[in-house]
Amino acid sequence: MFIETLKTMRLYERQSKLGIYHTFHRKNTVYVFKCDNCGVTFLRPRAKVDPDRASNDYKHVCSYCDTKKYAQKIGVKMRKVYQLDASSTMKTL
């Protein structure tokens, strides 16, 4: 489940050729998700997430859960909802 978008800013300091220290910053956008399998809240950088997936239209699974097992479980649930047998070739999601 998509929860929110956070913006972070990191400050760095570097030394120039002349020995003078300069500070500079880098901004980063992070998405906050809640795992649909175990309920744990986790973060993902915006660069690693497809913009369409940053919504509640998709399922989100944390790195601790087995994504393939979760997909199987959801597929079985959807087949029961649509009353499809296991040999059906119709896609559920």
2: nearest Cα among 69, 70, 71, 53: 53
Q: Is the backbone of residue 83 left (phi > 0), alpha (psi -120 to 50) or beta?
A: left
pTM of the model: 0.75
Is 13 or 78 the better-scoring residue by pLDDT? 13
Q: pLDDT tens digits for 37-64?
A: 999 999 999 999 999 999 999 999 999 9
* Contact call for residues 40 and 62 (beta carbons, < 8 A): yes
pLDDT at 92: 60
Strand partners of residue 14: 22
pLDDT at 37: 93
